[in-house]
Amino acid sequence: MPESQFNRDSFARWYASRHLKTDPGIRSVYYLPAGAPEREIRFVEVNELIAERDMQPLEPIDFGVAIGGADGHTLMVLDVTPAQWERIGRKELPLPKDWSLDDANSFSR
């Protein structure tokens, strides 16, 4: 596939679907394309099965997928508890630097 044909939104939908199917704790996945580099997919995953923690700043995990080639990209995932997600929504808990909820797309069960 030519480099200009890479479709970040399609990959994001596919990853969100897989994560929701394979992790029973994930209640919803938020895809955050605003401000992300062209070949970076950013997710906030609200997970009911992770322990409550008061860690700041919030740090996403680099899943290290599809690094090279025409479809090369990175997948960054920030797992949060439902309580942390509520705090993010109230702007009491900041997202990682340069992450934004503007134009966020939601995927859920």
CATH of the domain at 71: 3.30.460
Nearest-CA neighbor of 36 among 83, 79, 77, 90?
Answer: 77
Would you state the pLDDT for residue 1? 38
Nearest-CA neighbor of 47 among 61, 34, 33, 36?
Answer: 61
Residue 4 has pLDDT above 60, yes or no: no
E strand spans, 16-70: 26-31, 40-47, 61-62
pLDDT digits (tens, 9 = 90+) for 66-79: 766 777 899 999 99
Taking the C-alpha atoms of residue 108 and residue 99, their distance in angstroms, rounded to an integer, is 20
Backbone angles phi, psi at 57, to 5 degrees: -75, 160
Instruction: Say how many domains are in the chain.
Output: 1
Q: Is the dihedral of CA 5, 75, 102, 107 positive or negative?
A: positive
Q: What pTM, to 2 d.p., does this model score?
A: 0.89
Residue 72 belongs to domain spanning: 3-108
CA separation, residue 51 to residues 65, 78, 81, 82, 83 (Å):
25, 14, 7, 10, 11
Backbone angles phi, psi at 40, to 5 degrees: -125, 130
